Amino acid sequence: MPVSDNIALEEQLKQLGFKSLVKEVKMYIKAGSFELTIPQSKKIKDDSLLYLLEFENSGKDTRLKQYNLTLQSVKIPKTVINGINTTKLEKHLLKADTFYNDYYLKDKPATKEETEIIELGKRDLKLLFESGGLAKEISQLLMFKYWPESNYKEFIPDDSRLKEKYQAEITIEWNNGEMLTADEAYNKAKEIFNASKSKEMKEEHPISDEVLDLVTIALSKGENYMAYNNSLYFIDKSYIHFFKTRDEAFEFAENNISDRDRFAVLHFNSVKDILNQIPYGEELQRQLNPDPDANGLYNKDGNDFTDALIDHFESQQLLLFDKQLKTNFMNNENLQYLKDNIKYMGFGENMYRELERNLGEGKGEFQLHFAAEINKKPFEATLNFRKSDSTDMYFFNNYNASLEKSNGEKNEQTFYLNKGKGVTAKEAYNLLDGRAVHKDLTTKEGQPYKAWIQLDFENKDKNNNNEVKQFHENYGYDVKAAVEKFAVAELSDPEKTKALMQSLEKGNVQSVTIEKDGSSHKMFMEADPQYKKVTLYDSNMKMVAKESLERYKAGMDKGAKEVKQGQEHDKKKDLKPATKAEKEKLEQKNGKSLLPKKRESKGKGLGVS
């Protein structure tokens, strides 16, 4: 039953069903936080619940203002696709979800065994996604159900349709001094959710005249199965496809499911069949007279002999049709996708013809070769492509790169792609030449982060690849600050400054102009994150010795040198030991107090950020 607002906050939370939050609320109030939002998650069978409690300052007290409940109910189809059992996969993800919650809420790190379960679930989930069709749709449902929104956005850019279909939200406020409990709110949200599912709306799809013309042409070619985009209100020629066999039609429909597209398949023998089977408006339906035997070979009530005869005719052209369908799909989709991959990765457009030839041959895997000379150093790469085990799609998985240095030594490394992105050809050249590159990366848990990476040529991993050193943002390297230590003329222009920083982050040796003592010097520099500096070269690409760097640094012109020395002398005079009281005051100012920090919300499963 509803809870009254005339009792203490602690007792309110207990009676409302939020007893576990009492300690946390007290902690925030003690720390001086009076207006806050605290989440609580709960699972009931296939239902995931996220309560967001909003508190406000009321005079001297903190009171519960309201709470929001998001109910998410997703049932995963039980099936086995490409050797992956979706039921077992969901159990892995459910365990991983528990491990994450333990980490975020209890600061309990995952054990080695728990980490393996997390990685296994992620691997199978991505394999399903890359398989396409029904497998991809199931993988997206699992991601939506168990992953934070920040993680699944890469695979589900627009989740509005999923939220509309699988979620219900309500806000619970005080009403005449009473508020519904957590369980009562759940029951209310469940009623809303079930009502939306049970409400059946009759969809009507206006059909363009061009579609009806194409139906007539398809009949003349023996194509009696049509797949049409059932998620669109208006059906025109861009959203229909005709097939000779039922299997091919359904295969196409399954392979083209997405957040926005869902294809339905129907069998027809006349234009009237199309109009009868696709809802087109009640007025037109009333004008149509049912005629189940419009075609002598096909009977709506079923005829085994006739159906077998039609299947026999269709099977004669099945192999030719299958080949044509796959070739068209390759030309329109896969080929363009791989072209974009190659171009984005910096390998140009010269391999397009060889790419198309290899795709046409239908081999399980193939390689393309790239060679160039950069700064008089031979750079080569072998691009590796592999056909999916479950579809006809090819993927650009990785490439093996090598760079022959001026001393005759050759450095080699295999670089892997993730969703068509990774280390570009020019970045690979810079890494193999010993420099560092700044990249956007992701953790094993899918969290994005930025870091400088550099190859460690002294150590190899188990695959005989060079180990990769990483310098994260918290390592404290600021490339712009390192450049600003020198009298670089480009820093006076914001656009040139931006271009300079971008070039250094790509790992390039960038030309700069040093203006010092009234003269200009053309020089070169590269980023050195490990030692938190930039390396300076003269116009002949010879490294400037450490003892000579001062002459190129900013703010050290001859006229200013003596003034700076005087200022440093004054600063030394002002320095004196800090008292104990001053140290304690400084620690409080720097945030080293005993007050607990406010926890950031880490939404799980419901995509609340």
The pLDDT of residue 104 is above 60: no
Tell if the pTM clears 0.75, that is, is over it.
Answer: no
Region 436-443: mean pLDDT is 89
In a domain, 375, yes or no: yes
pLDDT at res. 608: 33
The pLDDT of residue 12 is above 60: yes
Select from 67, 64, 66 the least CA-distant residue to 10. Answer: 64
In a domain, 309, yes or no: no
- Residue 489's identity, in one-letter code, is A
- Residue 20 main-chain phi, psi, to 5 deg: -65, -15
Burial-class residue 383 by CB neighbours within 10 Å (0-12, 13-18, 19+).
buried
Placement of tokens 């970045």 in the chain: 427
In a domain, 569, yes or no: no
DSSP 553: B
Specify whether 216 is located in the same domain as 168: no
- The number of folded domains in the chain is 4
% pLDDT > 90, the chain: 29
Specify whether 345 is located in the same domain as 360: yes
Q: Name the token pair of 382.
A: 């072998």
pLDDT at res. 605: 38
The pLDDT of residue 594 is above 60: no
Distance CA 129, CA 123 (A): 10
| Diameter over CA atoms, the chain | 109
Specify whether 196 is located in the same domain as 344: no
Specify whether 360 is located in the same domain as 257: no
Specify whether 373 is located in the same domain as 448: yes
Distance CA 110, CA 96 (A): 9
pLDDT at res. 557: 53
Specify whether 168 is located in the same domain as 82: yes
Kindly report, residue by residue over 17-28, the tens digit of the pLDDT. 999 888 888 888
DSSP 331: I
Specify whether 155 is located in the same domain as 47: yes
pLDDT at res. 582: 53
CB atoms within 10 A of CB 228: 23
Angle at 153 between CA 150 and CA 154, to 5 degrees: 115
Identify each DSSP E strand in 477-577 by its residue range: 510-516, 519-528, 533-537
Q: Name the token pair of 90.
A: 């969901």
All residues at 6 or more sequence positions from 601 whose CB lies less than 8 Å from its CB, including other chains = 37, 39, 608, 609
pLDDT at res. 192: 87
Burial-class residue 500 by CB neighbours within 10 Å (0-12, 13-18, 19+).
buried
Specify whether 136 is located in the same domain as 276: no
Q: Name the token pair of 32.
A: 């001086």
- Residue 544 main-chain phi, psi, to 5 deg: -75, 130
Contact criterion met (CB below 8 Å) for 355 and 368:
yes
pLDDT at res. 528: 95
Contact criterion met (CB below 8 Å) for 298 and 219:
no
pLDDT at res. 228: 85
C-alpha 232: how far from its chain's center?
26
pLDDT at res. 590: 46
Full domain range(s) for residue 248:
209-301
Select from 48, 245, 259, 275 the least CA-distant residue to 162. Answer: 259
Last residue of a domain, one of 200, 231, 247: 200
Distance CA 109, CA 413 (A): 33
Region 602-607: mean pLDDT is 37
pLDDT at res. 285: 39
CB atoms within 10 A of CB 370: 19
Kindly report, residue by residue over 63-88, the tens digit of the pLDDT. 899 999 999 988 887 777 777 888 88
Mean pLDDT lowest for which of 109-118, 362-371, 471-480?
Answer: 109-118
In a domain, 318, yes or no: no
The pLDDT of residue 208 is above 80: no
Specify whether 377 is located in the same domain as 447: yes
Kindly report, residue by residue over 117-135, the tens digit of the pLDDT. 888 888 888 888 888 776 7
Region 454-475: mean pLDDT is 91
Angle at 143 between CA 150 and CA 21, to 5 degrees: 65
Contact criterion met (CB below 8 Å) for 405 and 411:
yes
The pLDDT of residue 410 is above 80: yes
Last residue of a domain, one of 270, 301, 332: 301
Strands of 47-58's sheet, edge to edge?
36-44, 47-58, 61-73, 167-173
Q: Name the token pair of 420.
A: 């068509």
Q: What is the mean pLDDT of the chain?
A: 78
% pLDDT > 70, the chain: 75
Placement of tokens 């085994």 in the chain: 304
Select from 367, 351, 361 the least CA-distant residue to 330. Answer: 361
The model's confidence at residue 170, banded by pLDDT at 50, 70 and 90, is very high
pLDDT at res. 424: 92
Nearest-Å Rg of the Cα atoms of the chain is: 33
In a domain, 173, yes or no: yes
pLDDT at res. 284: 37
In a domain, 155, yes or no: yes
Specify whether 366 is located in the same domain as 485: no
Kindly report, residue by residue over 497-513, the tens digit of the pLDDT. 999 999 999 999 999 99
Burial-class residue 263 by CB neighbours within 10 Å (0-12, 13-18, 19+).
buried
Contact criterion met (CB below 8 Å) for 431 and 414:
no
In a domain, 287, yes or no: yes
Select from 36, 40, 41 the least CA-distant residue to 64. Answer: 36
Last residue of a domain, one of 183, 200, 217: 200
Distance CA 438, CA 450 (A): 7
Specify whether 126 is located in the same domain as 177: yes
pLDDT at res. 277: 75
Specify whether 517 is located in the same domain as 466: no
The count of C-alpha atoms lying within 13 angstroms of the C-alpha of 404, restricted to the half-sphere facing its C-beta, is: 9
In a domain, 308, yes or no: no
